[in-house]
Amino acid sequence: MTSTAAGAGQLWAISDLHIGYDENRALVERMRPESDDDWLLVAGDVAETVDDVHWALATLAGRFRKVVWAPGNHELWSHPKDTVTLRGVARYDHLVARCRDLGVITPEDPYPVWEGPGGPVAVAPLFLLYDYSFLPAGCATKEEGLEYAYGTGVVCADEHLLHPDPYPSREAWCRARVEETERRLAGLPAGLPVVLVNHYPLHRHPTDVLWYPEFAMWCGTALTDDWHRRFDVHTMVYGHLHIPRSTRQDGVRFEEVSVGYPREWRKRAAPPGRLRRIVPEEGPGTGSAAGAVVAEGGGR
């Protein structure tokens, strides 16, 4: 465990920056903390190329006291436009190494502890992937689920771009990650709540509102179904769905913090690229939990 003593500040989160879009890159250029003590959690889908991921995380790491990153599926794609041609675990390890060069915390690092207002709270970035266990209604196996999805045409690009090497499958990689992560979380000190940061929700309920329910197969794993109850979870931060909202499951706060694609955020009433405050948690009467900040212009 590492700890950064800070007497002030706030812990913010965002995900799905997708800076391959110029409009989204411009949002990152304007993102700034409210104070020198603020931390930022980035829950995956920064970009498809290593250079773009590095640019965004370097930009944010230069402004926030600490940046914590969990990978999304887009970072893990072996995309034809990326000069880095690594696949699977080798690509993930390369991204982790680039993050470490920047001082950005990854799922491979000791979990930092937020000691500012609302703390102490451990922060655990997770990389768990998915295993096709969020099956469409009426389907009993991955094969049946995929057959259904190919029939409707709703198939995640991961099928062609996210390679599991050297694991035989993405679900095998997922199971290994879940096992290792479970062990680490079980080792957290008693009485210390934890903010879990994962690209996918750790419980299926947020996928209930998907426009295409079959897409849930690429959105998490039932293996983590009870983690928000088993561990002392302060908040579960996720993205991927591109449906930003706040929910509660068994009394535990789940926050979907995605920016999404320009064609998605243009339709929303809220300004794009706003950070979601995670700690301290906003209490009753202090406004929406989705209240957040992007300092326009020069910032501090």
The site for Fe ion (CB under 5 A) is made up of 16, 45, 72-73, 240
> Of the two residues 210 and 295, which places its CB atom closer to Fe ion in the complex?
210
Helix (H) or strand (E) holding 40: strand 39-42
When computed from its CA atoms, the radius of gyration of the chain, rounded to whole angstroms, is: 18
Tokens of 12: 């913010």
Tell me how far, at minimum, the Cβ of 197 lies from Fe ion, in Å.
14
In the sheet with 121-125, reading across from the earlier edge strand, the strands are 2-4, 112-114, 121-125, 194-197, 233-238, 252-256, 245-249
Tokens of 158: 């991961």
Tell me how far, at minimum, the Cβ of 236 lies from Fe ion, in Å.
16
Tell me how far, at minimum, the Cβ of 36 lies from Fe ion, in Å.
30
Tell me how far, at minimum, the Cβ of 242 lies from Fe ion, in Å.
6
Picking from 222, 59, 246, the residue whose alpha carbon sits closest to that of residue 134 is 222
Residue nearest to Fe ion (CB): 45
> Of the two residues 66 and 240, which places its CB atom closer to Fe ion in the complex?
240
* 25/20 Cα distance (integer angstroms): 7
Is 34 exposed, middle or buried, given 0-12, 13-18 or 19+ CB atoms closer than 10 A? middle
Tell me how far, at minimum, the Cβ of 210 lies from Fe ion, in Å.
13
Picking from 15, 10, 3, the residue whose alpha carbon sits closest to that of residue 198 is 15
> Of the two residues 161 and 295, which places its CB atom closer to Fe ion in the complex?
161
> Of the two residues 72 and 164, which places its CB atom closer to Fe ion in the complex?
72
> Of the two residues 16 and 131, which places its CB atom closer to Fe ion in the complex?
16
> Of the two residues 39 and 77, which places its CB atom closer to Fe ion in the complex?
77
Tell me how far, at minimum, the Cβ of 252 lies from Fe ion, in Å.
22
